[in-house]
A and B are shown apart, each in its own frame.
Chain A
């Protein structure tokens, strides 16, 4: 399983977090788990990158945070997408698609 893990490209993590939050507010652990599940365990988010990334997004104003209770009655910090965050997600998604198409063009002669 370890060999299947891929290091995320710089900047891609932000997009993935924003994408994950599109379905609703989520805490840091949950975001990590979601990305892992959605990528069928291929994308392992390092917590060492996850939390600084969350704080970075918050500083940019793309997400806001709030302390709430989880279903299991644990206190956790939930992150929520802002309007600016949604716009940023659209922009990053578009750029990502451009990048994928460009790389595909190079790789498939």
Chain B
């Protein structure tokens, strides 16, 4: 553009010179030729106008004027740029997460047609997403017409033990169908993915890039090599590229689902089903077809009517899998951060307006000298454009710094394959924001300026009268809007903080302080028989207990706070067997060693604990928790009652006599990352139900975790070097992990609302300070006529507090409507919690009082004589 301009202008010059030469040749004198030619400058001007150069030149000119006038007030300019930079930076940072997680297509071929199929429990009122039974998956694959291909993979129970160079590690080897990789359309980096011939081989795996690199050391000739998983040789077919990711991120490898896999042999077990819709087939159509097929498969089975397949877009499900409320969280944060930006714009607009009041005379002179109204408007818009551009650049830098920290701190689990970076869409967004802020912050002052009365401005420049009431009304309503938005943000942040505090301090039913845990897992092949498993668990517990400094040790199949393993239906002796339709699998099951309840600190409410006399050959017993007791034995004494765990595969489960009732230990739930539930739970003595392939050892030690951890790992390793040794973790740390994401969310929202509060206070202060300056003369007259200082203070204070009060009232009304959207992110507080609202109101009032105080004090210092003489 600039280059084109230069060329054309030079050409025009040359063309004019050529004209003179030709005219001279024709016998005209150079002088007459020039005279005849006319006004060269005018011709150039006209041509310039014609080719559109002028508008650029005028823009450059406007920019120059804008820069000049902005640099005349460096303090205000810096404030405005910083305000915009914070607003744009925060918005851009959040947007890049929104973009990476919610907007950017998944890194697969034609990802728009990829779907996930979940089984929904029809009795569940809330969300319910279960794996589909393998039986369904087979039927879908064979009979459905809605899909190009259907593949399966699962991460449930996919842990295998990798034996390498005499060392055992636990790896996640996700059982996967042959067509899984071709469904996603991603080629391997090394070797190949699964082919049908592999089904005849015993064991084939495809490695994840990270595992290949970090565990195996990235050998290039990996394809065809053999890894030992659960003592079974597995051939490596290939390695996926580094950029490939699927849920869950921890997957080390994908294991081909062969006909002898337990899932295939027990096809009522669930598996994750993923598919690609044929072009033009809607999700609803596909879902109807799958539901029809599901009913056919489970025609004579009660389970058929209990669940139904549901089809969802894969991207949405990845977000859901990563974190239940991630989508809502991101939307709430995005809305909040844009409110902050809005407040920032309002502040800049009111600062620009304030400058305009001061610059009234300048504008009047410009108008008098022939600047058109349009030109004035352009000048003001250019000024805000310069501000927004500077704010945008600094804001983008801030955003990329914030994102670097975000990636480093890693407080939120993100969907697989999502990259968070300041890239083109994000930069475009920042640019749009800058333009948007330009218009928003520049429009109001520009509009006021262009509508201003020339004569009055010239006459009253510097002095202000009641005619400015209109201008003040604009600024004042901006301040009211700021207070409203701040209250809204503060209420939201307050609710989040309250929720996290309640969530973090909720009684958990056990004492996590000082409680530590380590996982013990066994390869099923190595310990097929239950007695040997039990012996190993026992030996491990004894080995740990004998370490000096370890006080107490116990074993449990499921840790407190974690979701519970199996869910089964319960049959109660002496009550009619419930019909098949109501065999609700509503009881969680766990096996614990006698020491579990005392070591974990779970209170025994009634009856007795398990003890050494509860053995495989003694009477089968059970302990239930309070939730189970109140659900199945309301108003009854459950002790001595007999119950049976209903299981379709094993109808002859023995009757268990209830010998004790314990307090509920809080558990997390799959469907809500910020909730504790009291799952009705039945505990078996581990000695009577020790079939678990992995259990958790819990212990308390006098010494710190780091001191005993190594010794524990060594002693367990010594029992059998073929078993993987887990890491020692503390229950406190596990709790912290549960709290990290809600805390991060609350902290972010709190910092946004703090920013909003500061901006609102600055805005209010600005308006009042302006008021005092404008009405100095009036104040002077009042004081000269005998008004007390307190009267003056009251006058200013009344104005300020009235604005704050209106803003707060409007804010409370919008809180009523808007925080309800947050309900899913709250724990233990209602969306209109009165205490939170009261606190936000008081905090705002206090801040408003500070903002009012300073200008009010300044007003009292007005010297009547000086004020009157000043004009």
Chain A positions within 8 Å of B, measured between CB atoms, are: 27-30, 33, 46-48, 51-52, 55-56, 59, 70, 72, 74-77
Across-interface contacts of A70 in B (CB, < 8 A): 22
Given contacts A59-B50, A77-B18, 17 further A-B contacts (CB under 8 A): A29-B18, A29-B19, A29-B22, A47-B38, A48-B38, A48-B43, A51-B16, A52-B43, A52-B47, A52-B50, A55-B47, A55-B51, A70-B22, A74-B25, A75-B18, A77-B11, A77-B15
Cβ of A76 and Cβ of B22 under 8 Å apart?
yes
CB-CB contacts below 8 Å: B770-800 with A: none
Cβ of B50 and Cβ of A55 under 8 Å apart?
yes
Cβ of A76 and Cβ of B50 under 8 Å apart?
no
What are 10 A-to-B residue pairs whose CB atoms are below 8 Å? A27-B22, A29-B19, A33-B26, A47-B43, A48-B37, A51-B16, A52-B43, A52-B50, A55-B47, A59-B51
Cβ of A30 and Cβ of B43 under 8 Å apart?
no
Cβ of A56 and Cβ of B50 under 8 Å apart?
yes
- Flag whether B648 is at the interface (Cβ < 8 A): no
CB-CB contacts below 8 Å: B15-38 with A: 15-16, 18-19, 21-23, 25-26, 36-38
For the complex, count residues of B whose C-beta is within 8 A of A: 22
- Flag whether B39 is at the interface (Cβ < 8 A): yes
Q: Interface digits, B601-644 against A, CB 8 Å rule (1 contact, 0 not)?
A: 00000000000000000000000000000000000000000000
Closest 4 CB pairs between A and B? A48-B38, A29-B22, A52-B46, A76-B18
Across-interface contacts of A52 in B (CB, < 8 A): 43, 46-47, 50
Given contacts A74-B18, A77-B15, A77-B18, contact A51 B25 (CB under 8 A): no
Chain B minimum-CB-distance residue to A30: B22
Cβ of A77 and Cβ of B36 under 8 Å apart?
no
Cβ of B15 and Cβ of A28 under 8 Å apart?
yes
Across-interface contacts of A28 in B (CB, < 8 A): 15, 18-19
Instruction: Give the Cβ gap from B52 to chain A, nearest Cβ, in Å.
Output: 9
Instruction: Give the Cβ gap from B70 to chain A, nearest Cβ, in Å.
Output: 36
Given contacts A29-B19, A75-B18, contact A47 B25 (CB under 8 A): no
Instruction: Give the Cβ gap from A49 to chain B, nearest Cβ, in Å.
Output: 9
- Flag whether B12 is at the interface (Cβ < 8 A): yes
Instruction: Give the Cβ gap from A67 to chain B, nearest Cβ, in Å.
Output: 8
- Flag whether B821 is at the interface (Cβ < 8 A): no
Across-interface contacts of A77 in B (CB, < 8 A): 11, 14-15, 18
Cβ of B12 and Cβ of A51 under 8 Å apart?
yes
- Flag whether B42 is at the interface (Cβ < 8 A): yes
Query: Roughly how many angstroms separate A55 CA and B39 CA in the complex, as a whole number?
Result: 17
Chain A minimum-CB-distance residue to B19: A29
Query: Roughly how many angstroms separate A70 CA and B37 CA in the complex, as a whole number?
Result: 20
Query: Roughly how many angstroms separate A55 CA and B14 CA in the complex, as a whole number?
Result: 14
Chain B positions within 8 Å of A, measured between CB atoms, are: 11-12, 14-16, 18-19, 21-23, 25-26, 36-39, 42-43, 46-47, 50-51
Instruction: Give the Cβ gap from A50 to chain B, nearest Cβ, in Å.
Output: 9
Given contacts A46-B38, A59-B50, contact A29 B43 (CB under 8 A): no
Which of A27, A51, A74, A76 is B43 in contact with, Cβ under 8 Å?
A51
Chain B minimum-CB-distance residue to A44: B36
Across-interface contacts of B46 in A (CB, < 8 A): 48, 52
Instruction: Give the Cβ gap from A71 to chain B, nearest Cβ, in Å.
Output: 10
Chain A minimum-CB-distance residue to B25: A72
Query: Roughly how many angstroms separate A89 CA and B25 CA in the complex, as a whole number?
Result: 31
Query: Roughly how many angstroms separate A75 CA and B50 CA in the complex, as a whole number?
Result: 24
Which of A33, A48, A74, A75 is B39 in contact with, Cβ under 8 Å?
A48
Query: Roughly how many angstroms separate A81 CA and B669 CA in the complex, as a whole number?
Result: 79
Instruction: Give the Cβ gap from A47 to chain B, nearest Cβ, in Å.
Output: 5
Across-interface contacts of A47 in B (CB, < 8 A): 19, 36-38, 43
Query: Roughly how many angstroms separate A30 CA and B18 CA in the complex, as a whole number?
Result: 11
Instruction: Give the Cβ gap from A60 to chain B, nearest Cβ, in Å.
Output: 10
Cβ of B47 and Cβ of A27 under 8 Å apart?
no
Instruction: Give the Cβ gap from A98 to chain B, nearest Cβ, in Å.
Output: 28
Chain A minimum-CB-distance residue to B8: A55
Of the listed residues A46, A52, A59, the one surrounded by the most CB atoms of chain B closer than 10 A to its CB is: A52
Query: Roughly how many angstroms separate A51 CA and B48 CA in the complex, as a whole number?
Result: 12
Instruction: Give the Cβ gap from B50 to chain A, nearest Cβ, in Å.
Output: 5
Query: Roughly how many angstroms separate A75 CA and B22 CA in the complex, as a whole number?
Result: 10
Across-interface contacts of B51 in A (CB, < 8 A): 55, 59
Query: Roughly how many angstroms separate A39 CA and B425 CA in the complex, as a whole number?
Result: 62
Across-interface contacts of A48 in B (CB, < 8 A): 37-39, 42-43, 46
Query: Roughly how many angstroms separate A46 CA and B14 CA in the complex, as a whole number?
Result: 18
Across-interface contacts of B21 in A (CB, < 8 A): 74
Instruction: Give the Cβ gap from B843 to chain A, nearest Cβ, in Å.
Output: 62
Instruction: Give the Cβ gap from A19 to chain B, nearest Cβ, in Å.
Output: 20
Cβ of B18 and Cβ of A27 under 8 Å apart?
yes
Instruction: Give the Cβ gap from B4 to chain A, nearest Cβ, in Å.
Output: 13
Query: Roughly how many angstroms separate A28 CA and B11 CA in the complex, as a whole number?
Result: 13
Query: Roughly how many angstroms separate A62 CA and B121 CA in the complex, as a whole number?
Result: 73
Query: Roughly how many angstroms separate A30 CA and B26 CA in the complex, as a whole number?
Result: 11
Of the listed residues A33, A56, A76, the one surrounded by the most CB atoms of chain B closer than 10 A to its CB is: A76
Query: Roughly how many angstroms separate A77 CA and B440 CA in the complex, as a whole number?
Result: 48
Across-interface contacts of A46 in B (CB, < 8 A): 38
